A and B are shown apart, each in its own frame.
Chain A
């Protein structure tokens, strides 16, 4: 059984239909990709799956449990983490504090009003380990707002990882990165793939084809194709969709 399923998801804003009858399925222990040109509805789809928007129709199932319409915090507590395309960090906090606040053990003590967080050395060590995993060792005490762009991208992923998620959603992680940094990010995602079930939204075909086990292609708010990267390479709809995004002709 799939770890995560979306069945017949439909979402509209006013008169505009953004998602239409979306069916998706993500297996445990695999890296699933969602691909599509700009404006295809990828991020809206992500937002529906992670609780930011309620779908107008359809169901979202995680590990056999219906989580449709649950709040983002309830979904996060179920073990689903996400990163954001437009970076969303606690800018006044240090990198370490950003990760610390996302650790489940700190979240579990969220209403503790007496014990200072700074005294929790074990939590700080775990947060430092997460930062180390994304290559931010030595940056623990830098304010998130003062980090360089690539470092902030890495911190985005670290905050999502801090929760020890059962399913990790990454929303356009290569956004704004140059070729070298994208290659490094690919190495990082490959490394994470050993321990996590991951779903990546991406419009960078090369990045996703190199990493994903399966890919779903969204265009005009619908899933137009799905399969392994090899299966999709020859798909004429995928080629048309991607060429359209690059401004070419099919």
Chain B
């Protein structure tokens, strides 16, 4: 997951420019490709969701199977704010994000002492609690029907008001939010905070022994990831003009895990972006051919987990590094020693143990 120092320290990377450029032109060619404008909105929203989710799964190694709850909280809070208070795009989004953050913060208090299977099971349990509340609290959430007729408020810029009623206009607004989220998360994963998260994923015990309060980092990343899910949820309710419990279901929470893993969230920042695009294209392209598209997609997921858990991004990185390895095959692999006391020998060679074997087994 490492990046070159130059790329890591930049606000904008080459990959970002390419991605934003392709996405910005999407309304121009998506219909010519046999698809439809709304798909672009859906993809951008789920990419936001996926990138936030990957802070947890890919960067921190914390598997959440109940993240749909926070996506749903964002959707409901946005809808309720428009219905009960007044129509305001930015305030609605901000409130939805804060509400999801607060819910995530409370849940994280119970989760942050856990890891592995216990962490995962507790996320399922909490996700189900929120889903159940959404279904049963009819007077607020509308029960199984959910909230309907959620408006798409205009973007008020003081001097001008930009209506977001059309899918193209909404797409560009979502794309703007997406760009902000990408840049913010890119900075975050290369910041000391992001580096500590990755250290915790690799070796929680050592992170603790070099002085990091691991609980606080887990709490913070879970809450942040929930906030990003809430942000995506608010955009989703605006796009769908409704909010319903299905997005909080175990199935919906599983979909974001699947997208992130297939894309390669474990090895690349861009993994969830790839996974979301592949999922929606499979749904619409494969779905046009067969109703059982999810079965085939599920099989691809199983094969991916079994044979290539690094996902599509992992395959890509392997091919690129393979090419680089061939190109630089003649370059010296070992650099010289520069002095000081060394326990690793003058040639940096592998130390042999008493019976002459390499203890590391490499």
Contact = CB atoms under 8 A, between A and B. Distances in A.
Interface of A: 50, 71-74, 76-77, 81-82, 84, 88-94, 97, 100-102, 104, 106-107, 109-119, 132-139, 148-154, 159, 162-163, 176-181, 184-185, 187-188, 191
Interface in B186-237: 187-188, 190-196, 198-199, 202-203, 205-214, 217, 220
Nearest to B185: A113
Interface string B84-103: 00000000000000000000
Given A72-B209, A110-B217, A150-B351, A188 B202 contact: no
A190 B340 CA distance: 13
Interface of B: 1-2, 5, 8-9, 187-188, 190-196, 198-199, 202-203, 205-214, 217, 220, 334-345, 348-354, 358-360, 362
Main secondary structure of the interface of B (DSSP, over half): loop
B351 A139 contact: no
Contacts of B196: 101, 110
10 contacts: A74-B213, A91-B202, A102-B210, A107-B210, A116-B187, A138-B337, A154-B343, A154-B344, A177-B343, A188-B343
Contacts of B206: 84, 88-90, 159
A163 B338 contact: no
A76 B194 CA distance: 21
Among B195, B207, B343, residue most surrounded by chain A Cβ atoms (within 10 Å): B343
B343 A185 contact: yes
A180 B196 CA distance: 36
A178 B353 contact: yes
Nearest to B224: A113
Given A118-B9, A159-B206, A176 B353 contact: yes
A250 to B, nearest CB: 24
Contacts of B341: 133-135, 184, 187-188, 191
A5 B6 CA distance: 47
A115 B360 contact: no
B75 to A, nearest CB: 26
B211 A184 contact: no
Given A101-B199, A150-B350, A113 B343 contact: no
Contacts of B2: 92-94, 97
B209 to A, nearest CB: 5
Nearest to A177: B351
Nearest to B4: A118
A162 B353 CA distance: 27
A15 B89 CA distance: 64
B337 A76 contact: no
A143 B139 CA distance: 56
Contacts of A191: 341
Given A50-B209, A107-B210, A135-B337, A150 B193 contact: no
A112 B188 CA distance: 8
A135 B340 contact: yes
Nearest to A91: B202
Contact of A92 (B202, B209, B343): B202
